[in-house]
Structure 1
Amino acid sequence: MTKPFPCTQCGLCCQHVHLSNETHFLDRGDGICKHYDMASKACSIYTERPDICRVDRMYSLRYVQQHTWDEFVTMNLKVCTQLGSGSPR
């Protein structure tokens, strides 16, 4: 990896965990992560968050053989854009 993932910490991924089989276990019942604090707009377990919540870790664990880091970042940013536009699928 040459540069970190450019996360804006908008929290949209935390507010749509129901959309992915990989994050569904985090759903508190309304699509929002059970560890997402709406008041602070932050993760309440950030330093201990699961691997699926760490873009760099997931790349190393599952995608390094399939994509370059830049390709993986581009794919993740596309999802961020879709979530921000209100059309997550």
Structure 2
Amino acid sequence: MPDAPLTPFPCTACGKCCRRVNASPETAFLDRGDGACRHFDDDSHLCRIYEQRPLVCRVEEYYRQNLAAIIPWDEFVRINLAICEKL
């Protein structure tokens, strides 16, 4: 039976998380040396490899593969939105 669809993560594409990849062990490998993701375009504020971005950047897919058995989606979204606010 396929997984039920998740309500999409309410990302506003502000780029704040892309500018702070060094702040998390899960995304530190993307750091270009200044804390920002090596795929983040400073001019457009968009991801240059969005369609091929790493799993950790694919919020819903990452959640399904790594966290669905641990935490409900709504709680995961609430926690991550709180982190977004702090960024």
Matches within 5 A, 1:65-76: 65-76=69-80
Gaps of 5+ in 2: none
Give 5+ residue unaligned stretches, structure 1: 84-89
RMSD: 0.8
6, 16, 22: which one pairs with 2:20? 16
Deviation by residue 1:23-48 (Cα, 9 ceiling, x = unmatched):
00100000000000010010000000
How many angstroms apart in 1 are the aligned matches of 2:30 and 2:49? 12
Match of 1:62 among 63, 66, 74: 66
User: Where in structure 1 do 4 or more consecutive aligned residues deviate above 6 Å?
Assistant: none
Query: Matched residue pairs, number?
Result: 83
Superposition pairs of residues 9-48 of structure 1, within 5 angstroms: 9-48=13-52
CA drift of 1:58 comes to 1.2
Question: SS of the residue aligned with 1:72?
Answer: helix
